[in-house]
Structure 1
């Protein structure tokens, strides 16, 4: 009965119309109202249409509104060229080298505005694809219908006109959303060869939106997944980061493993999840990131990447310690090896290195609870992040839970309570310990003396 209703409402024929025209849904056929669209996106479309150009909110924002979600940002597609868009909006700037787009600014809001693009195929331009079929450039202006066909999935090829409150659908995206299906536009095998990143995007969107990948869309993934090796590492890392910071990282990684797309991308997905010692910590890090994103809390990509690589760092540390190397030099060696090994398959930008290394180097210091060392650690700028890292390890069975609980109490304790909590360090001479205690006692008894605990809550 539901299927019949959907077919009646959205049409039965899945093939695009031969005349290249879209199915247009009026305001009585969909739930999107112009008031729900960001003011900047509405203004951009209105001004472009007033100047005689076609202009629509496009892609993910339309898809999310139809699903009842709040979009993170808005994109506009238009028939106007970048120069024409720039001439209409005083507060705008043209960006990009290969394909120019315009950022239209309204206060703090930015709307990315692009000209309709045509898709270049191997048949149209044989020199525009590599030996694997990957399209090297598709930076040619086209019509709205061509722009829709160039997009990857039907649910991303939807256009919304905020002036008339109409949804324009060239490839049955509305029907596929209603059926909770993710369907590739065109021949999936060909589209994956043109851009292998679409396989990763399929996993991310399906997990994020709760969609099922259509059987015809999924089938070529199992035979074309090796093509991901041909994608430039910078672009591949960008897509992986989107996946990990999607708010559904756990579901995304599970789907990647089901599709066998995880091999060679991240040590987490290759071996950490299967390692009894580090797998629970890796999953806990992903879940903690998902939870923070759902609560609109800030997340650190460097923190998550450090957590995902911790398994390799820890294994390298044990190897070097077993060979007789002191702990700190062994940790340094393990860190450099883990990062170098990772860059062979997926290069992590070096801007993350400093934070990741600090988090790793601070982990052994949580085991030191005597002398001045706990106080110095509290004063470290990365203490809070490093403690969260250690506490997450402890809850996952990768670090002593009692020590994590000790640090939780130590942060909130007053000076006297902290002194009582000190764990004697056998490496510290007894004479030095007595001298340190006597000095603190004298300072505490001085008239007007005020003891102040070091502040370690800096994020």
Structure 2
């Protein structure tokens, strides 16, 4: 059973007990915009304790907000009781709620496109805030007073950016001006929440538009800690589906980092302000470092050095970044690199084949482990990559000769 079908079964179960129940929020928005919804949420006038009594497999995940998960029909459906929100003293969650009506529930939501309900049986859209009109006009508008909506949760400024970029919407003038007025209040939002929004934006094909909106709305200082005009050229030349690390690297170059500059400072700032994991930070650093090497000294590396660099983890992303950087400047520097790497990749042994001899092999030859081990192994592998050694016997002979030389 699909998630939509499971949600409809929940709605029918509630209606059989004389309750009002609809599909709500994001799934309605996505369907009206022609997108496939990821989740199907239900809103109802049934109280949480009633929902738990009506269905066998339930879990209360937001008792304070009237949210119950129903798992009776093969999918997990979030069922929320219609409510009105009290004051948001922490600028994130309401201090209190009151169970209410569909109309009042719509009035508490962030944007009109997210405040719609749908009767899945009649296909009627229940719209108390002119959200359908805004969808048809491709407009993102705050529900009611935009200043109040933003004061309730400052992260709504970032959500506005994400929705507008993802769905190709224009942010309504009053809403946009309110975002600008409250831009610096975003500093009070946890880096975990900001980082999550940034990850969603950067992993979506609309990433370039999203970062442009962050700049346009004056959110860059609060998000990145500085004001810097974003150049969309490099990011816009990358593929539709790219890794998070590559998107971050393109963001760094688009915000002013030179491809030939040390990236340590940027990586530290992004780690702190975007809540990057250590792995994400290391990936970003690796991509920028490899791209810098391709730019600065590819020709000086020699065959072995080039193949080692091209065989490193994240080298593919680094090459994509360097290609985009070159294309943006109408330079052909990357063409030769792509040609060389493709030639190695298409060869029988590949870019970086397994070493013909390892430390165990050196021990079998009677060599004692020590500092010379790594030097000999590296020299033999370089010879292999350069085509001077073709088999294990040749690798052994070279290792013996190198071992006989004084350190």
The normalised TM-score by structure 2 is 0.73
Distance 1:373 1:251, change over 3 A: closer
Question: How do 1:247-266 and structure 2 match up within 5 A?
Answer: 247-266=205-224
Instruction: Give 2:323's aligned residue.
Output: 394
Q: How much does 1:351 deviate? A: 5.2
Of residues 361-370 and 237-246 in structure 1, the stretch that sits farther from structure 2 once superposed is 361-370
Which of 154, 174, 178 is equivalent to 2:136? 178
Residues 1:308 and 2:251 are matched in the alignment: yes
Residues 1:187 and 2:120 are matched in the alignment: no
Instruction: Give 1:284's aligned residue.
Output: 237
Aligned partners of 1:215 and 1:436: how far apart in 2? 62
Post-superposition CA distance 1:195-228 (Å, at most 9, x none): 2222222232223223322222222222221111
Aligned partners of 2:344 and 2:250: how far apart in 1? 24
- Greater RCO between the two (CA within 8 Å, min separation 6)? 1
Q: How much does 1:69 deviate? A: 2.7
Is the Cα contact below 8 Å between 2:110 and 2:143 reproduced in 1? yes
Is the Cα contact below 8 Å between 1:306 and 1:359 reproduced in 2? yes
Residues 1:406 and 2:340 are matched in the alignment: yes
Is the Cα contact below 8 Å between 2:110 and 2:156 reproduced in 1? yes
Is the Cα contact below 8 Å between 1:182 and 1:212 reproduced in 2? yes
Aligned partners of 1:217 and 1:435: how far apart in 2? 59
Secondary structure of the structure 1 residue equivalent to 2:182: helix
Q: How much does 1:57 deviate? A: 0.7
Which of 32, 36, 44 is equivalent to 1:70? 36
Post-superposition CA distance 1:86-112 (Å, at most 9, x none): 444444433358646333347874332
Post-superposition CA distance 1:240-273 (Å, at most 9, x none): 2222234312222223322222234248x95473
Of residues 81-90 and 55-64 in structure 1, the stretch that sits farther from structure 2 once superposed is 81-90
Is the Cα contact below 8 Å between 1:264 and 1:345 reproduced in 2? no
Aligned partners of 2:385 and 2:307: how far apart in 1? 18
Q: How much does 1:358 deviate? A: 4.5
Aligned partners of 1:176 and 1:315: how far apart in 2? 41
Secondary structure of the structure 2 residue equivalent to 1:260: coil
Residues 1:129 and 2:89 are matched in the alignment: yes
Aligned partners of 1:406 and 1:37: how far apart in 2? 48
Aligned partners of 2:95 and 2:119: how far apart in 1? 25
Secondary structure of the structure 2 residue equivalent to 1:113: strand
Distance 1:254 1:135, change over 3 A: closer
Distance 1:170 1:360, change over 3 A: same
Q: Give unmatched runs, 5+ long, in structure 1.
A: 1-34, 122-127, 293-298, 320-333, 420-427, 445-459
Question: How do 1:217-296 and structure 2 match up within 5 A?
Answer: 217-266=175-224, 270-271=227-228, 273-274=230-231, 280-285=233-238, 288=239, 291-292=240-241
Distance 1:259 1:344, change over 3 A: same
Question: How do 1:331-342 and structure 2 match up within 5 A?
Answer: 334-335=263-264, 337-342=265-270
Is the Cα contact below 8 Å between 2:259 and 2:291 reproduced in 1? no
Aligned residues: 358
Which of 173, 180, 188 is equivalent to 1:215? 173
Q: Give unmatched runs, 5+ long, in structure 2.
A: 328-332, 354-377, 395-407
Instruction: Give 1:169's aligned residue.
Output: 127
Aligned partners of 2:194 and 2:388: how far apart in 1? 59
Instruction: Give 1:374's aligned residue.
Output: 307
Root-mean-square deviation (CA), in Å?
A: 3.9
Secondary structure of the structure 2 residue equivalent to 1:234: helix
Is the Cα contact below 8 Å between 1:197 and 1:236 reproduced in 2? yes
Question: How do 1:12-23 and structure 2 match up within 5 A?
Answer: none
